[in-house]
Structure 1
Amino acid sequence: MGQTSVGDLRSRAAALQKDLDNKLFGQHLAKKIILNAVFGFINNPKPKKPLTLSLHGWTGTGKNFVSKIIAENIYEGGLNSDYVHLFVATLHFPHASNITLYKDQLQLWIRGNVSACARSIFIFDEMDKMHAGLIDAIKPFLDYYDLVDGVSYQKAIFIFLSNAGAERITDVALDFWRSGKQREDIKLKDIEHALSVSVFNNKNSGFWHSSLIDRNLIDYFVPFLPLEYKHLKMCIRVEMQSRGYETNEDIVSRVAEEMTFFPKEERVFSDKGCKTVFTKLDYYYDD
């Protein structure tokens, strides 16, 4: 990473905006927060602390997709880069009885990788399945320290992905819909505080009573809103284009209509977001 100039990082941040505009749908809040956070961080030669983003929302709303886009726009190879590290709670930290071992391993992994590359990216998926207390092991790396045991973590990026807090986000989105307001009128202040409190007090959030929240070490709680029918159609069109197909609006509508929606009466939001859109599309092109 030492050979990558700041100018190159800035150009990649600009490319991030294009990717989010063209590929992420129905997430005006997430798009704005991530653009501002990543732009500001990358363009700051001396950040006071690592950038920490906690992405919240239902499955299929774009959390994994956004972390992939961030990685791709900072490093060649994206998630496959040697400088991008993905931890999946159920895969890497499966047993509650081993939490002390996991804490030691996590600290060693992060210290080793940041020593090799100051701008390492760490992505923690399934935070809602993370054993309570485990994530606090990385608190020293997220705090406002110039050095921890001779290593600076201030240029690293930490991204947490979680379904925790999704109900609170949906409540706000549904209130706006029922009041006849545009979802684009939802502001971060309408959600962020309630979201952070909800995650802090949720025993199944991975952040239960976490010092990361208590000490304000999470820079942004990023809400991903539940997706509507029109957003599913946007996802389907992009997927068609990426496969080299002509956009067929009949198939777009048929695939979107096969999805299930909630609440039961109003059927406003997709149960699975864009998650299963891709496999449903296979059915129409399997020949």
Structure 2
Amino acid sequence: MVLLGSIFDMFCIMECCSNHWIKNDINGKNFVAKHIVESLYREGYKSKYVRLYVVSRDFMHHDTVHISQYKDHLTEDIEKIASKCPQATFVFDEIDQMPKQLLDVILYYIDFHTPTASRSTDYRKTIFIFLSNTGAKSINNLAEKNYRSSIRRENFNILEFQQALSNASSNEEGGLQSASLIDRHLVTFFVPFLPLKREHIRVCINQQLAIILEHDEYEYEVSVDDIINNVINLIEFTRASSSSLEYSLSGCKKVQQKLHYIFETMQPTLKKTKKKLYDSDDLL
């Protein structure tokens, strides 16, 4: 098969493959969850007392047979791990996509139940972290409202954002809407993640760039500002409905890949100082 007349496609495909092999650091909600886990457990997510579930990966089938299997597996996981370590941590990513039947399984362990002879584990110290994009629109609207009222970001009322997130969890379509977690006030903390403006993305790029340049084996003939501006131009922003406020649609999630893409496009103008070759039997 020959790809004719599509030089841009071929270039982009090659760069995407190259960037995919580069280690990517997580950010945003996942970064916070990872930081919590690593602060509590020496081995982080590798600890036998920590479980990370990604709904689209671990609970991807919603038919009756699979749901029954998932319920048994989830129950066994929670009870087995928490019985050995009451301070065990369970992280659920994409919780808004989780079937109600599985949320009801978790509900038992979150709600207060006095230990009994048959179920002697005390789950009050067990940590459940739910990650979701639920409420993003409500949070953005509230941030825009504060912006129009000239309220500085550091002066935002956290309670307003927590309430907006709580309301969205109850009203938006998804697993949390049909579960009793919200109605029964079983969620201890709602942690809203504010949308990131251009200035925040610029800081993020600068931090990632500093890491790259520290370990890079080349010198470049373009300035740091030029590199940052080139990356900014590749990030998609959305404009708030009635103001000049702009937010990154993907936060800082794509910054690292975009940076490496820019560096690859700069290679014809780079000035080499030293180079190491890495041989691999598996990669051509």
TM-score band by shorter chain is: 0.7 to 0.9
Is 1:63 the counterpart of 2:39? The answer is no
Q: How high is the TM-score relative to the length of structure 1? A: 0.73
Partner residue in 1 for 2:89: 121
CA deviation profile, 1:18-44 (whole Å, cap 9, x unmatched): xxxxxxxxxxxxxxxxxxxxxxxxxxx
**Contact 1:260/1:270 (<8 A) preserved:** yes
Aligned counterpart for 1:270 among listed residues 244, 248, 266:
248
Equivalents in 2 of 1:268, 1:262: separation in Å?
A: 5
Partner of 1:253: 229
Aligned pairs for 1:198-209 (under 5 A) are 198-204=168-174, 206-209=175-178
Q: Distance in 2 between matches of 1:227 and 1:180?
A: 17
Distance 1:158 1:194, change over 3 A: same
CA RMSD of aligned residues (A): 2.2
Alpha-carbon displacement from aligned partner over 1:226-257 (angstroms, at most 9, x marks no partner): 10111111211222233325892331232123
Matched residue type, 2:81: N
Give the secondary-structure state (helix, strand or coil) at the position aligned to 1:118: coil
TM-score, length of structure 2 as denominator length: 0.73
For residue 185 of structure 1, report the CA deviation from its aligned partner: 1.7
Aligned residue type for 1:272:
S
Change (3 A) 1:71 1:220: same
Q: Tell me, what secondary structure is at the counterpart of 2:185? A: coil
Distance of 1:112 and 1:241 partners within structure 2: 44
Unaligned runs of 5+ in 2: 1-25, 217-222, 268-284
Partners of 2:230 and 2:262 within 8 A in 1: no
Q: Which has the higher contact order (CA 8 A, sep 6+)?
A: 1
1:108 equivalent in structure 2: 76
Which of 148, 166, 183 in structure 1 is aligned with 2:136? 166
2:63 is equivalent to residue 93 of structure 1: no
Shift of 1:165: 0.9
- On the 8 A contact 1:61/1:225 being kept in 2, the answer is no
Q: Secondary structure at the match of 1:124?
A: strand
Identify the residue that residue 263 of structure 2 maps to in structure 1.
Answer: 285
- Paired residues in the alignment total 227
Judged with a 3 Å threshold, the aligned counterparts in structure 2 of structure 1 residues 129 and 189 are, in CA distance, closer, same or farther, namely same
Please tell me the residue identity of whatever aligns with 1:161: L
Q: Matched residue of 2:169: which SS? A: helix
1:121 Cα deviation from its structure 2 partner: 1.1
Residue ranges of structure 1 left out of the alignment (5+ in a row) = 1-59
How far is 1:143 from its partner?
1.8
Question: Given the superposition, is the C-alpha separation of residues 133 and 174 from structure 1 closer, same or farther in structure 2, using an over 3 Å criterion?
Answer: farther
Query: Which residue is 1:185 aligned to?
Result: 155
1:104 Cα deviation from its structure 2 partner: 2.2
Q: Which runs of 4+ in 1 moved over 6 A?
A: none
Q: CA 1:72–1:180 in structure 2 vs 1: closer, same or farther (change >3 Å)?
A: same
User: How far, CA to CA, are the matches of 2:230 and 2:30 in structure 1?
Assistant: 26
Deviation of residue 134 (structure 1)? 2.1
Q: Percent identity?
A: 37
